[in-house]
Structure 1
Amino acid sequence: MASDPEQPTRSSLAQEGRSSGEIGSAREPLLNNGVHDPESYSISAAILPFLFPALGGLLYGYDIGATSSATVSIESPTLSGVSWYNLSSVEIGLLTSGSLYGALIGSVLAFNIADFLGRRRELIVTALLYLVGALVTAFAPNFPVLVLGRLLFGIGIGLAMHAAPMYIAETAPTPIRGQLISLKEFFIVLGIVAGYGIGSLFVDTVAGWRYMFGVSSPVAIIMGIGMCWLPPSPRWLLLRAIQRKGDVQNLKDTAIRSLCQLRGQAIHGSAPQLVDEILAELSYVGEEKEATFGEMFQGKCLKALWIGAGLVLFQQITGQPSVLYYAASILQSAGFSGASDATRVSIILGFFKLIMTGVAVVVVDRLGRRPLLLGGVSGMVISLFLLGSYYIFLDNAAVVAVVGLLLYVGCYQISFGPIGWLMIAEIFPLRLRGRGLSLAVLVNFGANALVTFAFSPLKELLGAGILFYIFFVIAVAALAFIYFVIPETKGLTLEEIEAKCL
């Protein structure tokens, strides 16, 4: 498309900012009909800035997968290796959900420390909490220490799920940002499968639960070393520069060096120009103003919060944990011999989730966020209707339940699974991104805890069929929410998202 000769380009506006000698003198750098110079980057250089933060997601998934086998191991009189194996139902609940409540604490902590620490240092703290939590849990001499270790590990999860998508979003090249953030979800599912697999290896070993929890510590060490090597987020540095929280020129120089390390040789010549362009765009969208708590619920951030928190809320309350809870019985009713073994069923479903997440990763930057959300959630609506109908009307048609189960899992993994985390990493304005994303993560884990807690009483009160019909109605509401509220962010820089979508 030919550009308007009178329409200023981002480069020319950035040049204006440089010639004036002040940050923020540019005018309307984003209103260029959505056309901008392609970003220079090296794929090989972009791998490590994704990989080390994504290990935080891998450890989160591993905890989900390993905990079920660890619980079986620690309750066994012969295999637990401890004298306090006879746990009450409340103690089992604390063991299984301890990391979830730790994640809630981590989300609250992130709200207060994220912008001060920065994304990189927050992930270093995350790795330290993962390491300490894993070791305390693995060597716990009694049950209270075991719960303490679970809480510490969970705080690491809360910080990881807050900082990792932010760091990846702020450092990834725009053309592959969606793929890289979605690939973090792939790592979560990979961790779940690894947790199931390692759990099955040690479940018949004396004190096997100690090995299950301890295995995550080497990965935490690798994550911490990697984050120490990686540079700070250039956008976080430039936010501090534009808000005068340090020497401006020093922060700009550090941001240039960070970009060169993150993008490789391909960007070395253009890094200073890109830094000036980002500064001009940040000035245009008003990022030089100090963020206040009240702004979280006003204007752009309120809209971003509505989008981000709404997505992660629907992600949890459309039945994902509940559907998987029924996986073993559904496959067993269909005649699959392996279905009586819950671990094998979990591994099979885990690999299926992995494949479908991989599909989302491949197509997210081609098709866009909205098409995947609309298509995937539409499939979830159909699958929940099939599952509800199976338990009420079609109990002899096991194939309906199997189709519904696989359709649900597949559609969730190409929609809410990866896209929910992708959108909350993209949608918040930079100066409010740390706090905004912490609120979205808090909503996510809070809804997860609520659904997990309420599932058994609701199942007993209403029955499985009615419960799935309720999830069906919620999924229809989620579809309407996506259609009317969620914008398309494919191909836009983070600054363009703030200017055009909020």
Structure 2
Amino acid sequence: MRASTSANVALPRRRGTRASTRIQGVGKSISTPRGVLRAHTRHARRCATARAASTSNEGGNDGELNAAVLRNFLFPALAGALFGWDIGISSGALENITASAASGGDGFALTSIQSGQFVSASLFGALTASAAAGAGVGDRLGSRKELILAATLYLVGSVASSVAPGFEPLVLAKLIYGLGIGFAMHSAPVYIAETAPSSLRGSLISLKEGFIVGGILLGYLASEGVITADGGWRQLSLEATPLIGLLLAGAIWLPDSPRWIASKSGDGKDTRDEAREALVRIREAKSDVEMMKIDEELEDIFMAAVSNNSSAGGSGAMSLFDKKYVRPLYIGLSVVLFQQFTGQPSVLYYATQTFEAAGWSVEDAANVSVILGIWKLFMTGIAVSKVDSLGRRPLLLGGISIITACLFALAALNTPGEVQTTAQAQASVAAIFLYVGAYQLSFGPIAWLLVGEVFPSKVRSAAVGLATLSNFGSNFLVSLFLPTVQETVGLRGTYLGFASVGVLALASIYFTVVETRGKTLEEIEAELMQ
């Protein structure tokens, strides 16, 4: 429990004084920026030691799942579900638009280029918003206000899509919705990471991935319901508006992150009062013991803020590539890039034809997305239940090992110039399911979990923005060049290429990724900034 920390680290609690004076009692005078950083590092180590001892004695619950924790998680996760929804309805809406036009109904006859523009419009919007968020918009707004902006863009994009009089306005509406995706995927992991109790942070950020998968699955199911209806694509655009309205109302209701307040407003009495009020709401603290824990956590937050504000260099994108940030930046960006370049979601590009070769009917093979969606959701649930008990590294290393093995198996099962036998196709189906399951145990939730954890608070918004931009950008590049690569080197060569990246990912993660389970963000920052 955090209460035990106070017995080991005695910190004066004189409100309204400068933090540089307050933390001199940690050991020696720390009037210099280097001294602040050293004191913060020593304090974080003591906190980690005390928490580890408390965990062994008391089961490790430094936070409990209550209504406030669920509220702080639910609305950012809902923003992720609306991202998944857009993925899920895109192919069905495109098919309905063209089918409706062919029958003389409410749709548009699209060329192949226009079809690509329709599908990629939201991705382009997400890339644009990610770049803006990383360049400083997210840092200035804070994750709560950024969620409000994302919800507003979601709402405008959805309504505009449903009433679009032509193809160009429809693409513009999809782009606006994509801007919402970019801001949502930047702010959601930051808000959850900065407000969740340390003992639940991994489970909650991982569960956000489950909401994305759930949104995809709901989009698939909704598309099946209107796929043959004239103008059904307009209905698909509107069906998510109740959830968008809920997200907008919830984001307005949420408190700002105390860590963002501390980083932006200095260490005066008014700032402390504002951050304390937000933290009380976030933790739903009422008893004297809970309020004592609030004060201890607040002291950690402001000590880290003093350390960051006293260090040389600016904040945000301008100082993101300073030498001292290289290690956390590499960890966060590498896992996001490896997530894409090990074949997800490219492996699923060929899943339907593999199911057909295995003896499934064309109709059943077309439903592979729904089947895999359910499987992904189930395996994400397992990851959520284990990430805070087993830890991040074991799940990452174990899952990526299975992913790499499956890719080598798929390469072996696809002989160049030969049609797969039924047995080979059935084995490929098993490998695809195993691949997807291992992905949802590892890269799926944990890549974004680490993105929310490893970046120092001073550059967190800019770094998460860069990670989000890298994710959408690499996804776009893989999707764009995959058909050409497959045509050039064949399906076996494509799988072998992904498998080679898997081997590189294993080595990189083994040597660079630290275990963050059970640590506060301040403790993780102190460890990575040594």
Shorter-chain TM band: over 0.9
* CA displacement, residues 319-377 of structure 1 (integer Å, 9 cap, x when unaligned): 1122111111112222233x544542110100000000111000000011110110000
Question: What is the alpha-carbon distance in structure 2 between the residues aligned to residue 343 and residue 269 of structure 1?
Answer: 57
Question: What is the alpha-carbon distance in structure 1 between the residues aligned to residue 510 and residue 256 of structure 2?
Answer: 36
In the TM superposition, residue 283 of structure 1 has moved relative to its aligned partner by 2.9
Indicate how the Cα distance of structure 1 residues 372 and 42 shifts in structure 2: closer, same or farther if over 3 A, else same: closer
1:500 aligns with 2:514: no
Question: What is the alpha-carbon distance in structure 2 between the residues aligned to residue 450 and residue 84 of structure 1?
Answer: 29
Name 2:516's counterpart in structure 1: 489
Question: What is the alpha-carbon distance in structure 2 between the residues aligned to residue 344 and residue 151 of structure 1?
Answer: 28
Name 1:5's counterpart in structure 2: none
Indicate how the Cα distance of structure 1 residues 86 and 492 shifts in structure 2: closer, same or farther if over 3 A, else same: same
Please, which of 265, 271, 274 is the counterpart of residue 254 of structure 1? 274
In the TM superposition, residue 9 of structure 1 has moved relative to its aligned partner by 5.3
Indicate how the Cα distance of structure 1 residues 83 and 214 shifts in structure 2: closer, same or farther if over 3 A, else same: closer
Please, which of 363, 369, 379 is the counterpart of residue 346 of structure 1? 369
Please, which of 202, 217, 232 is the counterpart of residue 208 of structure 1? 232
SS across alignment from 1:193 = helix
Comparing 70-79 with 229-238, greater Cα deviation is found at: 70-79
Please, which of 448, 469, 475 is the counterpart of residue 442 of structure 1? 469
SS across alignment from 2:99 = coil
Kept after mapping to 1: 8 A contact 2:258/2:276: yes
Please, which of 161, 167, 177 is the counterpart of residue 137 of structure 1? 161
Name 2:384's counterpart in structure 1: 361
Name 2:426's counterpart in structure 1: 399
Kept after mapping to 2: 8 A contact 1:42/1:265: no
In the TM superposition, residue 16 of structure 1 has moved relative to its aligned partner by 2.8
SS across alignment from 1:213 = helix
Name 1:120's counterpart in structure 2: 144
Name 2:327's counterpart in structure 1: 303
Kept after mapping to 1: 8 A contact 2:258/2:275: yes
Name 1:86's counterpart in structure 2: 109
Kept after mapping to 2: 8 A contact 1:11/1:273: no
Indicate how the Cα distance of structure 1 residues 373 and 102 shifts in structure 2: closer, same or farther if over 3 A, else same: same
* CA displacement, residues 115-170 of structure 1 (integer Å, 9 cap, x when unaligned): 11111000000000000011111111001100001100001101111000000000
* CA displacement, residues 274-315 of structure 1 (integer Å, 9 cap, x when unaligned): 212321243346667641644211233222211111111111
* CA displacement, residues 95-124 of structure 1 (integer Å, 9 cap, x when unaligned): 011111110001011122111111100000
Indicate how the Cα distance of structure 1 residues 485 and 425 shifts in structure 2: closer, same or farther if over 3 A, else same: same
In the TM superposition, residue 19 of structure 1 has moved relative to its aligned partner by 7.8
1:48 aligns with 2:71: yes
Aligned ranges 1:257-296 → 2 under 5 Å? 257-265=277-285, 267-284=290-307, 290-291=314-315, 293-296=317-320
In the TM superposition, residue 401 of structure 1 has moved relative to its aligned partner by 0.4
Question: What is the alpha-carbon distance in structure 2 between the residues aligned to residue 166 and residue 20 of structure 1?
Answer: 28
Give the partner amino acid of 1:172: A
Question: What is the alpha-carbon distance in structure 2 between the residues aligned to residue 50 and residue 20 of structure 1?
Answer: 31
Name 1:185's counterpart in structure 2: 209
Give the partner amino acid of 1:260: V
* CA displacement, residues 381-430 of structure 1 (integer Å, 9 cap, x when unaligned): 01101111111179322232012101110011111100010000001110
Give the partner amino acid of 1:31: R
Name 2:95's counterpart in structure 1: 72
Indicate how the Cα distance of structure 1 residues 217 and 77 shifts in structure 2: closer, same or farther if over 3 A, else same: closer
Indicate how the Cα distance of structure 1 residues 22 and 39 shifts in structure 2: closer, same or farther if over 3 A, else same: farther
Name 2:455's counterpart in structure 1: 428
TM-score (norm 2): 0.88
In the TM superposition, residue 264 of structure 1 has moved relative to its aligned partner by 1.6
Question: What is the alpha-carbon distance in structure 2 between the residues aligned to residue 424 and residue 349 of structure 1?
Answer: 26
In the TM superposition, residue 241 of structure 1 has moved relative to its aligned partner by 3.4
Comparing 285-294 with 65-74, greater Cα deviation is found at: 285-294
SS across alignment from 1:75 = helix
1:22 aligns with 2:36: no
In the TM superposition, residue 173 of structure 1 has moved relative to its aligned partner by 0.4
Indicate how the Cα distance of structure 1 residues 343 and 46 shifts in structure 2: closer, same or farther if over 3 A, else same: farther
Indicate how the Cα distance of structure 1 residues 35 and 82 shifts in structure 2: closer, same or farther if over 3 A, else same: farther
Kept after mapping to 1: 8 A contact 2:352/2:368: yes
Name 2:50's counterpart in structure 1: 35
Question: What is the alpha-carbon distance in structure 1 between the residues aligned to residue 513 and residue 255 of structure 2?
Answer: 32
Question: What is the alpha-carbon distance in structure 1 between the residues aligned to residue 500 and residue 154 of structure 2?
Answer: 38
Comparing 441-450 with 205-214, greater Cα deviation is found at: 205-214
Question: What is the alpha-carbon distance in structure 1 between the residues aligned to residue 198 and residue 75 of structure 2?
Answer: 19
Kept after mapping to 2: 8 A contact 1:202/1:208: yes
Give the partner amino acid of 1:106: A
Question: What is the alpha-carbon distance in structure 1 between the residues aligned to residue 499 and residue 349 of structure 2?
Answer: 17
SS across alignment from 1:463 = helix
Comparing 457-466 with 421-430, greater Cα deviation is found at: 457-466
Name 2:29's counterpart in structure 1: none
In the TM superposition, residue 43 of structure 1 has moved relative to its aligned partner by 2.1
Question: What is the alpha-carbon distance in structure 2 between the residues aligned to residue 323 and residue 80 of structure 1?
Answer: 34
Name 1:4's counterpart in structure 2: none
Indicate how the Cα distance of structure 1 residues 429 and 175 shifts in structure 2: closer, same or farther if over 3 A, else same: same
Question: What is the alpha-carbon distance in structure 1 between the residues aligned to residue 316 and residue 227 of structure 2?
Answer: 50
Kept after mapping to 1: 8 A contact 2:88/2:220: yes
Give the partner amino acid of 2:478: V
Kept after mapping to 2: 8 A contact 1:17/1:24: no
Kept after mapping to 2: 8 A contact 1:24/1:279: no
Q: How well do the aligned residues superpose, as a CA RMSD in angstroms?
A: 2.2
Question: What is the alpha-carbon distance in structure 1 between the residues aligned to residue 101 and residue 277 of structure 2?
Answer: 57
TM-score (norm 1): 0.93
Percent sequence identity is: 41
In the TM superposition, residue 188 of structure 1 has moved relative to its aligned partner by 0.3
